[in-house]
Structure 1
Amino acid sequence: MSSNKTDIKQYKDLLKQYLETKDEVVLYQAEQLNKAIKQDVSPDEIIEQHFKALLEIDPDMDDKIKDSFDFLIQTMTSYALAYKEYHELRAKQLELKAEIEVAANMQNTLLSTTVPGVQNIDIGATSIPAKLMNGDYYHFVQDDEGNIGVAVADVIGKGIPAAFFMSMIKYAMESFPENRMYPKVILELLNRVVERNVESGMFVTMFYGLYDVHKHEFYYATAGHEPGFIYRAQQDQFEEIDAKGLLLGVQKEVKYNQYIDGINEGDLIVLLTDGVTECRDGDRFIEREEVLEVIREYKHLSAQEIVDNVYKYLERLQDFKLRDDFTLIVLKRND
């Protein structure tokens, strides 16, 4: 209990009053006093002060009761040590949480990106971390012809190291020249950066696409990333983006295949991470077809509204508890 004499006197007075009246109001006052007592006071100290207060109230206390308090104080000693360790651990956890929050804010700043505004191309994007730190990443760039480069990545290995490793990838991408660079070249350059700098056991999956805003052609390559989809408005069907490639950082020299698809009016390009396609409804994994049906349901909306509605739908299915980082990007051609 607090060493403050005023607190001890208040405690003794309240105890005496309660023993005489059994008034619940007194119990409430004792509860409020307890809240004012320092948290680092151990349980055996509380019992000892209670015993002293009783002795002042009843100096002729029965010897057996006195002995029982001695016994209780001794048996509480080991509990008091555990109690102290608990509060020390709690203090460290709060300190660590504060540091992670700072790191998360830094991550948001370091990995921030601007969604480009391009005529005839509507873009929506969201990335929601399951915890404070986000292991997913997306980034937009534009070359000197106005074409849109879009990267979606997922670090295998989470936490602060993964988050800051993503910032290294972003700044590596921004160091590339602004003239047109095709996806296979981007991935090959990034693979060298990752292989030289990543720690053992940490790899990166990435999808990189380049949208030619003049020809409406979509070039893309992948480094082991979750395949996306193209919604064909004319056929009202989804096509899986069929591309393969080795994860970034596995080997020093890797060549990536590049693919190209034409994009027609009303078509959607859907890029994502596995936090979208591997959502769970209870013990059931949500099928990809279910996700695609939700996208189809909202295809008439703006790209950002499509993204937001898909997220809300899957968030509700998971009882508002994301099990994995969620990243979804939609590019919609509007002529």
Structure 2
Amino acid sequence: MGFWKTNVPKYKDIIRKYIIDKDENVLYQAQKLSRKLIEHQIAPEEVISLHKSIMMEGNYPAGKIIDSFDVLLEVMMGYGLAYREHQSLRTEQLALRNEIEVAASMQETLLRTSIPSVSGVDIGAISVPARKMNGDYFHFVSDEDYRVGIAIADVIGKGIPAALSMSMIKYAMDSLPEEDYSPGSVLKSLNRVVEQNVDPSMFITMCYGTYDAKTHQFCYATAGHEPGFFYKAKNKEYIDFCGRGLLLGINKNTEYKEYEVRIELGDMIILMSDGVTECRTDDGFIERDDLTSYIDQYIHLPAQEIVNNVYKDLERLQDFELRDDFTLIILKRIN
């Protein structure tokens, strides 16, 4: 309201001066006023309506009304320039969006992994990016000795830089020697890769573990990653992973301690990214007990159905708007 109160008299004065003297300098004042109107998001139809009301109030003859259109045209030219700039930016935005779509599709292809089929083990996994590109990564490795390797990583950050870092982690893992997939060695090797190739302002957390379906032992090491859970079916309790370790890329000489736990019949290994544990509602972050209660609701189901249902519940809890990349993996011993 204050903007109109100040500038309506200015516009009236510009029109009056121009139709009397036809001074070209007055049109320059109209240009400046046009910029102010655009800055204050005054719609062009409002300007036309104002112009019409001013001319009707002044009871000007037809010739003067026609002359006043020069002023209106000068003002509208400013809107035209702004519109063309908007169209140009929109075209650039669409081109960028298309590039991101292509990059997201390529990332999905590059990071694709298949859930291994191992006798006596049921595995479920889900990973959903908060944006087009995923800053989370998970990967499975299996061998003929009934061992399953599970990797889960998270870049502290989002968007294209995070996605590129995840692609680098994937290919670094692919290049590791097959004879040494012990969790501590894997994290130690990847730590050196990250330290040498990732910007110091970015950090990567990771957990890597191997489950031996013959001995039912799960060996793991963590690099600052969100602690997972062990579900112990006998006592119906959730036990946190031990250790956190140093994030990847902080110190190239870091050693990662390995931990081991036996998985009994019905027990589960639960791995996740912080998009799961830091699920936010209007009341704040969900608590650990809230998360385990969601898992408890579906614990009788196959592992893939558990992760799918937990994701749907937490997505609904956030009004279907993920605030961070979401990755959840469950390995359940069924035999």
TM-score range, shorter chain: 0.7 to 0.9
Partner of 1:82: 82
What is the CA distance between 1:66 and its match in structure 2?
1.2
The question of whether the paired residues in 2 share the 8 Å contact of 1:244 and 1:257 is answered with: no
- How far 1:65 sits from its partner (Å)? 2.6
Q: Which residue of 2 aligns with 1:214?
A: 214
Normalising by structure 1, report the TM-score.
0.80
- Are 2:139 and 1:155 aligned? no
Shift of 1:180: 5.0
Q: After TM superposition, give the deviation of residue 80 of structure 1 in Å.
A: 2.0
User: Paired residue for 1:312?
Assistant: 312
Give the match's secondary structure for 2:210. Answer: strand
Instruction: Find the residue that maps to 1:76 and give its secondary structure.
Output: helix
Task: State the alpha-carbon separation in 2 of the partners of residues 145 and 194 from structure 1.
Answer: 30
* Residue equivalent to 1:333: 333
Alignment deviations for residues 123-171 of structure 1 (CA, whole Å, 9 cap, x no partner): 0000000100000000001134230000000012322222122112112
Opposite residue 210 of structure 1, the aligned amino acid is T
Q: Distance in 2 between matches of 1:143 and 1:117?
A: 11
8 A Cα contact 2:154 2:205, kept in partner = yes
Question: Which residue does the alignment assign to 2:127?
Answer: 127
Give the structure 1 partner of residue 232 of structure 2: 232
- The answer to whether the 8 A contact 1:144-1:178 is kept is no
Give, in angstroms, the shift of residue 179 of structure 1: 3.0
Q: Distance in 2 between matches of 1:132 and 1:93?
A: 15
The whole-number CA distance in structure 1 between the counterparts of 2:115 and 2:222 is 21
Report the Cα distance in structure 1 between the residues aligned to 2:143 and 2:203, rounded to whole angstroms.
27
CA contact (8 A) 2:270 2:328 kept: yes
- Quote the residue 2:97 is aligned against: 97
Q: Which residue of 1 aligns with 2:195?
A: 195
Counterparts of 1:123 and 1:222 in 2: how far apart (Å)?
Answer: 20
Residue 63 (1) aligns with residue 66 (2): no
Q: Show structure 1 runs of 4+ deviating over 4 A.
A: none
1:293 is aligned to 2:293: yes
Amino acid at match of 2:176: F
Number of the residue aligned with 1:186: 186
**Separation in 1, partners of 2:202, 2:213:** 35
Tell me the alpha carbon deviations over residues 220-267 of structure 1, each in whole angstroms, 9 at most, x when there is no partner.
100000000011111011001122200001111110111001100001
The one-letter code sitting in structure 2 at the alignment partner of 1:221 is A
CA displacement, residues 7-48 of structure 1 (integer Å, 9 cap, x when unaligned): xxxxxxxxxxxxxxxxxxxxxxxxxxxxxxxxxxxx99xx99
Deviations 1:69-100 (A, max 9, x none): 22211112222222111111111111100000
Aligned to 1:116: 116
* Aligned twin of 1:53: none
Give the aligned partner of residue 274 of structure 1.
Answer: 274
1:203-228 deviation line (CA, Å, top 9, x unaligned): 21000011011110110100000000
* Mapped partners of 2:310, 2:274: distance in 1: 14
SS of residue matched to 1:73? helix
Alignment of 1:160-171 (within 5 A): 160-171=160-171
Matches of 1:283 and 1:131, distance apart in 2: 23
Count of aligned pairs = 279
Give, as a single letter, the amino acid of the residue that structure 2 aligns with 1:246: L
Question: Is there any run of 5+ residues in structure 2 with no aligned partner, and where?
Answer: 1-42, 49-60
Letter in 1 for 2:202: M
Residue pair 2:131, 2:159 contacting (<8 A) in 1 also: no
SS at match of 2:301: coil
CA displacement, residues 263-288 of structure 1 (integer Å, 9 cap, x when unaligned) = 00001111000100111122422112
Q: Which amino acid aligns with 1:314?
A: L
Identity %: 57
Contact kept, 8 Å, 1:153 with 1:205, in 2: the verdict is: yes
Query: Which secondary structure does the structure 2 equivalent of 1:100 belong to?
Result: helix
The residue type equivalent to 1:122 in the other structure is: D
CA RMSD of aligned residues (A): 1.8
Which residue does 2:16 correspond to in 1? none
